[in-house]
Amino acid sequence: MTDLTDPSGAALRLSNDERERAVAALQAHAAQGRLTDAEVQTRVQSARSAVTRGDLAPLFADLPGRVDLDGTGAAAGAGAAAGAGAGAAYQAPDYAAQSPSDPYEQRSGRTGDRRWGLAIVSIAPFVALILFFVTSSVWGYAYSWLWFLLVPIAGALVYGGDGGRGRDRR
C-alpha cells in the first residue's frame, strides 16, 4: 500500500499505471457511496493530470484507507475493484513472489553472481597495484603499468559478459 502522506515519497513521479490505479480507487470509493458523481469527476480529472504522488494526496485525504499505487493489492478500506464488501480483510502482500528489488538481478535473473562480481571488481585494483610494485621492482617500470588493465577487463568480464541477454529491448 502506498502512503501518500509520506513526505519522502511525495516527490516521486507517477506512471500511467499508477494514475489509473488511483482513478480505480476513486471509482471504488464512489461505488461504495463515499463520493458524489461531481466529486468523482473532479477527482478523476485531477488524478489523471497529477505528476507526483504528492499531487494525489489531497484527493484521498478525506477517504479511509490507503491507495495501492504499486499494484500489490486492493486499496485498503475501498474494497477490491470487483466489489468486495466493506468487511473484506486486509491481505498482506507476498514479498517472496515479487521480483528482486536489485536491478542487476531483475535483468540477469542471477542472484548469487552479483556478490562474486562485486568482490572481483572491488579487489582488481588492489591486485593490479600489488603486481605493479612487485614487477616494477624486479623488471622495471617499462611494462609494469599493464597490470592496471586488469581493472577494466575484470569489469567487462563480470558485468558485460552476459552476451546481451540481460539488456532491455525497447
SS3 track for 74-120: CCCCCCCCCCCCCCCCCCCCCCCCCCCCCHHHHHHCCCCHHHHHHHH
Residue 44 has pLDDT above 90, yes or no: yes
Q: 115 and 64 share a domain?
A: no
C-alpha cell belonging to residue 65: 484507507
Residue 136 has pLDDT above 60, yes or no: yes
Q: 75 and 117 share a domain?
A: no
Q: Taking Cα atoms as reference points, which of 55, 90, 94, 61 lies closest to residue 76?
A: 90
Q: Which amino acid is at 3?
A: D
Q: Taking Cα atoms as reference points, which of 88, 50, 39 lies closest to residue 22?
A: 50
- 1 inside domain: yes
- 62 inside domain: yes
Q: Sorting pLDDT into bands at 50, 70 and 90, what band is 43?
A: very high
Q: 120 and 83 share a domain?
A: no
Q: 112 and 36 share a domain?
A: no
C-alpha cell belonging to residue 112: 548469487
Q: Which amino acid is at 135?
A: T
What integer best gives the mean pLDDT of the chain? Answer: 74
At which of 72, 94, 116 does a domain end?
94
At which of 94, 127, 147 does a domain end?
94
Q: Structure pTM?
A: 0.42
Q: 115 and 36 share a domain?
A: no
- 150 inside domain: yes
Alpha helices in the chain (DSSP H): 16-31, 37-48, 53-60, 103-108, 113-139, 150-159
Q: 123 and 151 share a domain?
A: yes
- 166 inside domain: no
User: 78 is in which domain, residue-wise?
Assistant: 1-94
Q: 26 and 70 share a domain?
A: yes
Q: 76 and 135 share a domain?
A: no
Residue 79 has pLDDT above 50, yes or no: no
- 168 inside domain: no
User: pLDDT at position 93, please?
Assistant: 45
Q: Sorting pLDDT into bands at 50, 70 and 90, what band is 110?
A: low
Q: 29 and 10 share a domain?
A: yes
C-alpha–C-alpha distance, residues 156 and 154, integer Å: 5
Distance between alpha carbon 88 and the CA centroid of its chain, in Å?
28
